[in-house]
Structure 1
Amino acid sequence: MKRILIIQTSTISNVVLTTPLIEKIAQHFPETKIDFLVNQGNQEILMGHPKLNQLYVWKRFTNKYKNLIRLILIFRKKNYDIVINTQRNFVSGLITVLSKGKILRGFSKNPFSIFFDKKVIYRINGSHETSRNLALINDLTDKKYVAPKLYPRSSDIAAIAKFQEFPYVCIAPISNWGTKQFPQVKWIELILSFNDNWIIYLLGSKDDYEECEEIRLHTERKNINNLAGKLSILASAALMAKAKMNYVNETAPLHLASALNAPINVVYCSTVPHFGFGPLSIHSKIIESELDLPCRPCGLHGKHECPLGHFDCAHSIDINKFDKP
């Protein structure tokens, strides 16, 4: 087996949760060249990965279909022995089939799965997403579990060195999904429960900067630093790896922590751990409401705002449930 292509053009979270396939394939087939396709904007998370041969990026925000055709033509020339699709949508299935890989693998829920040589049933039954992904190659390798793993570059490590002179904690308070995001007032309450000597770093993308700044200003703490948009995603992950504790929503930073075994407290608002996207770090804790809410969960990914207007799944969470640094 000379070449394998892995397709994951969804979110950064999904890319991280697909990395166990890279580790497992490299372990069992060290001579095989592993290529990986990601969506535009997500390539940084795999930059410099020592076990990848080639990282392909689907530039879907400019000339979307032209770039899609270009990629498919490249893949056809590669003569992949196996193409593994970890998604369940139309476009990923189309890429898989048109790649002309010798063996096609993916989930049975993909609309093109009728053309797959190996189909795996995708079940939300409490198993972790990483285990569901690994099921795509269990028959090629073994059934042993492998955790997600990321590889921060030397430049990422150098970028955070100045922030690591003293003990610190990290907080990633923002989510693209409104009902996955712990309310600003609750983050502020949590921060104010910490000893005021702790150095706190607020993490996120450049789009998160303003909201993080509001939290920083409302706490009136001198040791809070807003780093949203100031670090690469791998640098942020490396910073989290050495933190005394990390506090996050059930979003991408959670999976960054898992991939580097960073200590973490993760807040579940409208979603639930049973969906299979929970923390994998040795030192991890799930924080969620103790109320028996008939409306929770309100969806697999949450919603932009609480459909019922009360957001009790978040506001009812007791701050004292968090591990203090």
Structure 2
Amino acid sequence: MKILVIRFSSMGDIIYTTPVVRCLKKQLPDAEIHFLTKPAFQYIYNNNPYLDKLLLLKPELSDTIADIQAEKYDRIIDLHNNLRTTIIKLRTRIKSSTYKKQRIRKWLSLKLNLKLVPPVHLVDRYLKAVAFLGVKNDGLPIDYYIKKEYQLSELLPPSHQSNYIAFVIGATHFTKRMPNHKIINICRQLKHPVVLLGGADVKANGEIIAAALGEKIYNACGQTTLDESVFLVSKAASIIGFDTGLTHIAEAFNKPIASVWGGTAPELLGVQPYMVKDVLVAEIDLSCRPCSKFGLEKCPLGHFKCMNDLPETPITNFINEY
């Protein structure tokens, strides 16, 4: 059997497809498993031993459809369920199974502040799309394979090369990020050195935090590649992070994680830390939260209480246990 699994984006959603690919390959060892995604996210499946071939979405959908037809797949597992995947399935006429997004329930939950989406993790929702093949959840974490074995001495100063806390301060949207003053307050109460991680867009934030706390902080934001950042997360004693790709990737290493949520909510998306032994989900219950599924550029009400009023002590107490 030859199977194509499809998920185009985004980083967090694709990382949660890795248990599906692993379970398919291990439980159907004679099957050939391929995965189709956007070129920007191919790094998630580079070096993955459970994947036989990685296909990349081309600028013209017709070219991608031609690639799919040439492979002669027996099944398509559609884990994206959007217009493009619908066109692919219609044009190729390959038997398919599709992930159910529960769009109406999510929309009503968001707009009316109702809890209509069952608290089922995205991985388990994805796995329902392959249940017809007899494939079951193996109970293991997500997979991420670092491209090379880096040396901590190449990436961190001597003061931060052991027993450090990785704090992922980046996130695509403002309403997912904690304000600098809150991060400073939390870091001040932590027992161990802190390495700040994120892209160039939060490098200035990292500089502000480091200036306030001095040698306790090492600002790696904008200085490391994503793969190097993942390596640093894998070697950390514990992790603090927001609803962003690097925090979700960190789950692959089963380290203690304080998962901090602002304007988005894990139960709506089904993306709370998966198969991690020690987890704290930090969030507060507000009538205006969640304000969006994926984050916004500013708080719609202007007060940003979901982050500003978030208690710091549970986070610091949790991390200081390790």
- Give your verdict on TM over 0.5: yes
Amino acid corresponding to residue 91 of structure 2 in structure 1: L
Amino acid corresponding to residue 9 of structure 1 in structure 2: F
Instruction: Work out whether residues 44 and 233 of structure 1, in 8 Å CA contact, stay in contact via their aligned partners in 2.
Output: no
Instruction: Work out whether residues 9 and 38 of structure 2, in 8 Å CA contact, stay in contact via their aligned partners in 1.
Output: yes
User: Residue in 1 aligned with 2:183?
Assistant: 187
Q: Closer, same or farther in 2 for the Cα pair 1:33/1:210, shift >3 Å?
A: farther
Instruction: Work out whether residues 7 and 84 of structure 1, in 8 Å CA contact, stay in contact via their aligned partners in 2.
Output: yes
Please state how far the C-alpha of 1:202 moved relative to its aligned partner: 1.3
Q: Closer, same or farther in 2 for the Cα pair 1:75/1:183, shift >3 Å?
A: same
- 1:197-237 CA-to-partner distances (Å, cap 9, x unmatched) read x33211123333333333323x2321422222433434322
Whether 1:293 aligns to 2:286 is yes
User: Residue in 2 aligned with 1:116?
Assistant: none
TM-score where L is the length of structure 2:
0.85
User: Residue in 2 aligned with 1:37?
Assistant: 36
1:251 to 244, 247, 256: 244
Whether 1:158 aligns to 2:131 is no
2:201 to 200, 207, 216: 207
User: In proportion to residue count, which structure has more helix?
Assistant: 2
Instruction: Work out whether residues 171 and 242 of structure 2, in 8 Å CA contact, stay in contact via their aligned partners in 1.
Output: yes
Please state how far the C-alpha of 1:78 moved relative to its aligned partner: 0.2
Instruction: Work out whether residues 19 and 143 of structure 2, in 8 Å CA contact, stay in contact via their aligned partners in 1.
Output: no
User: Residue in 2 aligned with 1:173?
Assistant: 169
Please state how far the C-alpha of 1:160 moved relative to its aligned partner: 4.2
Instruction: Work out whether residues 99 and 125 of structure 2, in 8 Å CA contact, stay in contact via their aligned partners in 1.
Output: no
Amino acid corresponding to residue 283 of structure 1 in structure 2: D
User: Residue in 2 aligned with 1:25?
Assistant: 24
TM-score where L is the length of structure 1:
0.84
Please state how far the C-alpha of 1:109 moved relative to its aligned partner: 5.5
RMSD (Å), alpha carbons:
2.3
User: Residue in 2 aligned with 1:120?
Assistant: none
Whether 1:324 aligns to 2:319 is yes
User: Residue in 2 aligned with 1:149?
Assistant: 142
2:97 to 84, 105, 122: 105
Q: Closer, same or farther in 2 for the Cα pair 1:284/1:77, shift >3 Å?
A: same
Cα distance in 1, alignment partners of residues 44 and 310 from structure 2: 32
Amino acid corresponding to residue 79 of structure 2 in structure 1: T
Please state how far the C-alpha of 1:143 moved relative to its aligned partner: 3.7
Q: Give me the identity figure in percent.
A: 26
Q: Closer, same or farther in 2 for the Cα pair 1:37/1:207, shift >3 Å?
A: farther
Question: Relative to structure 2, which stretch is displaced further, 238-247 or 91-100?
Answer: 91-100
Instruction: Work out whether residues 18 and 130 of structure 1, in 8 Å CA contact, stay in contact via their aligned partners in 2.
Output: yes
- 1:35-74 CA-to-partner distances (Å, cap 9, x unmatched) read 1111232111211111111112225xxxx32xx3222211
Instruction: Work out whether residues 152 and 237 of structure 1, in 8 Å CA contact, stay in contact via their aligned partners in 2.
Output: no
The number of equivalent residue pairs is: 300
1:77 to 54, 70, 75: 70
Whether 1:313 aligns to 2:313 is no
Cα distance in 1, alignment partners of residues 242 and 22 from structure 2: 26
- 1:233-279 CA-to-partner distances (Å, cap 9, x unmatched) read 34322322231110001221231122222210011112223221101
Amino acid corresponding to residue 181 of structure 1 in structure 2: R
Cα distance in 2, alignment partners of residues 73 and 129 from structure 1: 30
Cα distance in 1, alignment partners of residues 133 and 195 from structure 2: 42
Unaligned runs of 5+ in 1: 112-122
Q: Closer, same or farther in 2 for the Cα pair 1:27/1:70, shift >3 Å?
A: same
Q: Closer, same or farther in 2 for the Cα pair 1:226/1:96, shift >3 Å?
A: farther
User: Residue in 2 aligned with 1:118?
Assistant: none
- 1:119-177 CA-to-partner distances (Å, cap 9, x unmatched) read xxxx831111111001101121244354442242451x225464474211101112112
Q: Closer, same or farther in 2 for the Cα pair 1:37/1:312, shift >3 Å?
A: same
Instruction: Work out whether residues 186 and 315 of structure 1, in 8 Å CA contact, stay in contact via their aligned partners in 2.
Output: yes
